Amino acid sequence: MSQRKDISYSGYLQLDKILQAQQPLSTAHDEMLFVIQHQTSELWMKLAIHELTATCRLIAADDLQPAFKTLARVSRILEQLNSAWDVLRTMTPSEYTEFRGLLGQSSGFQSWQYRVIEFLVGNKNAAMIHAHQDDKAVVERLEAVRLAPSIYDLTIQLLHRRGLGIDKATLERDISVPHLPNDSVLNAWSSVYRDPTRYWELYELAEKLVDFEDYFRRWRFNHVTTVERIIGFKRGTGGSSGVSYLRKMLDVVLFPELWQVRTQL
């Protein structure tokens, strides 16, 4: 940058655009917090998508060492997203009601980047695309991710390539829907965990995936408690059932056999 006189810190980061992007609809003091918390979360999600996409590509290519780095980074990103809830929770119900009515039908439920993350890690629900039906480009992107193998689909294929027999039905299943627990996958992970020295790369990949899901579960839990703390059991601004829907999401398991194997060992 010292050699490029035309580039400044502000210009490189396009701070003029970023810092002008906060346009509260009211004079309520806490609306600025609400806007910035969601904007920064979307930026972190953009980076998470960047890293998860790279991870999928690396696993597909049997290049696991750099995949460990990208997965670890995504877990740290989720840690940042978890910390953001702590800041938002400083807003009380009284303060939120000062501007909530101005939000119309806008809702975090409509975050297409969050939906991309869900699809990349295997929680694929085609009905969720309906919320974006007015944006053709977003619909096309979501459909492309839904129809592509998730990070866990690619991991299961890797297990098979490494000689840990996965049954044919699982390898040829419809990858546009969520993976369901499978005995052959559980047995493969059992072999890995019973002999980690022999399967060290797969063992490390397994733990990195568990780390990711652990942080993702915390993110969901913090989302539920934050929403309940601020609006109770009111319906969400976009028409979702609010806390009731979010609590159901706590039961979603992304990598079931990696949790089941702990009981089996």
User: Is 194 annotated to bind ligand?
Assistant: no
List for the chain the helix, strand, coil content (%; round to 5): 70, 0, 30
* Domains, in order of start, for the chain: 28-262 (1.20.58.480)
Q: How far does the chain reach from its first CA to its final CA, in angstroms?
A: 54
**Is residue 96 a known part of a binding site?**
yes
**Residue 193: what pLDDT?**
98
Give the model's pLDDT for residue 240.
55
- 100 is an annotated ligand-binding site residue: yes
Is the pLDDT at 3 greater than 70, yes or no?
Answer: no
What whole-number distance in Å separates Cα of residue 30 and Cα of residue 21?
16
* pLDDT tens per residue, range 162-176: 999 999 999 999 999
Residue 35 labeled ligand binder:
yes
Is residue 119 marked as binding?
A: no
**Is the pLDDT reported for residue 186 higher than 80?**
yes
- The answer to whether the annotation marks 80 as part of a ligand binding site is no
pLDDT surpassing 80 at residue 18: yes
pTM: 0.91
Is 231 marked within a binding site?
A: no
pLDDT, one tens digit per residue, over 88-127 is 999 999 999 999 999 987 877 789 999 999 999 999 999 9
Do the annotations mark residue 105 as ligand-binding? no
Residue 99 in contact with residue 31, Cβ under 8 Å? yes
Asked whether residue 37 is marked as a ligand-binding residue, the answer is: yes
